[in-house]
Structure 1
């Protein structure tokens, strides 16, 4: 009988040990699952894309001033992209054009050189054409034509660029105005409540800071495009001036 009780006791202990082991394994598995789910949720929150975060902050800033600031960005970028495309199309290989015009002058005269200019795009080719078109008169007439038409081409290059500078100045000013209005609203809430509670002013201050941030972001983006456009215009204008001097020298040699 004692032996039977001993066997039963050993069997019970083994069963209890197995259950405890299974429970420990299940608990560890559940803990790992919960941990992985928590980590996945944290990763999902951390992986919030820049676009989603920007959209969230934009909505929190309010549709009033944020919409106007966004409009400044859209219009400024539209003008900047149009100017960049136009300036890139206006860029000419001045050395190659000059060589082609010189070869045409030596081989076929003024008309052949004018044909080369007609088949070449850009302000430099247009200036060459105007100078060659007055070459039959005298050098002074050709030079005046080149200078006059050069001013016209500069106006075409700088067209609408002033609007970009306007949006660069306007965007942060609108942001600062939103900041001031947000602070005024926050102090109005304090005055109405008769108590200085952080929850009363937090919303207004947050909106105020968001409008300022977005205004500065818009100004920074447009400023980068504006500086590139100005540098591109200066480069083309320098090519035009050098080409004008070269053209006068070619015409002088051709008349001799």
Structure 2
């Protein structure tokens, strides 16, 4: 492995750093974007039950906000529940924008790695080809095997860049889609709670999906 890295030239080191960064982001996002952490299924029924029992206070709202992204959105609406439906929706939307920003953390760097890794690999190959032909011109070697061997070594960086870039792009698209699904779920649950609290919808807690 070290021989492959060494033969790929100095451009292999930035590519290795990109691979480490991409792997770290992917693992972190898989851990942070678990559904039970982002949209706990039991949270909305619990909040609705506490609201009916008039147990919503500042301490509970603080705990709810720290519970999960969905909890932060619900807490923003509940803290202004006495100011009417429109105010609650505005507060929920404002909190939702912040939650989306947090859910998309590190996705831009992952997308950048997915884009630049193949380009860096190609650049490393170009440098390698320049070096090969410069060496051939100096040594006046006409041996095709030497040229073929040099080209194969130069292509190592291109292959490495693609190996890093393709999975990074796949996971970047996957996490973006996952965040979009969570945002839709949170919006639906929050608006449903607003309708119930403002009396626009009559619904028993058992009918709220867990």
How would you bin the TM-score normalised by the shorter chain?
A: 0.7 to 0.9
Report what 1:160 is aligned to.
106
Shift of 1:99: 1.6
Shift of 1:110: 4.0
Shift of 1:192: 1.8
Q: Report 1:23-62 matches (<5 A).
A: 54-62=1-9
Shift of 1:153: 0.6
Tell me if 1:219 matches 2:132. no
Q: SS at 1:253's partner residue?
A: coil
- Aligned match of 2:23 in 72, 77, 81? 77
Report what 2:139 is aligned to.
193
> Contact 2:110/2:168 (CA < 8 Å) preserved in 1?
yes
Report what 2:75 is aligned to.
129
Q: Report 1:104-143 matches (<5 A).
A: 104-108=50-54, 110-111=56-57, 115=60, 118-119=63-64, 121-143=67-89
Structure 1 or 2: larger helix share?
1
Name stretches of at least 5 consecutive residues in structure 1 with no aligned partner.
Answer: 1-53
Q: Report 1:84-95 matches (<5 A).
A: 84-88=30-34, 90-94=37-41
TM-score, length-normalised on structure 2? 0.84
Report what 1:207 is aligned to.
153
Shift of 1:130: 0.9
RMSD: 2.5
What are the superposed Cα offsets for residues 21-76 of structure 1, whole Å, 9 maximum, x if unpaired? xxxxxxxxxxxxxxxxxxxxxxxxxxxxxxxxx444323323x0111100111112
> Contact 2:122/2:157 (CA < 8 Å) preserved in 1?
yes
Q: SS at 1:249's partner residue?
A: helix
Name stretches of at least 5 consecutive residues in structure 2 with no aligned partner.
Answer: 203-210
Return the structure number with greater relative CO, CA threshold 8 A, min gap 6.
2
Report what 2:190 is aligned to.
244
* Greater Rg over alpha carbons, structure: 1
Report what 2:128 is aligned to.
182
Report what 1:170 is aligned to.
116
> Contact 2:84/2:198 (CA < 8 Å) preserved in 1?
no
Report what 1:8 is aligned to.
none
> Contact 2:40/2:68 (CA < 8 Å) preserved in 1?
no
TM-score, length-normalised on structure 1? 0.70
CA distance in 1, matches of 2:52, 2:45: 11
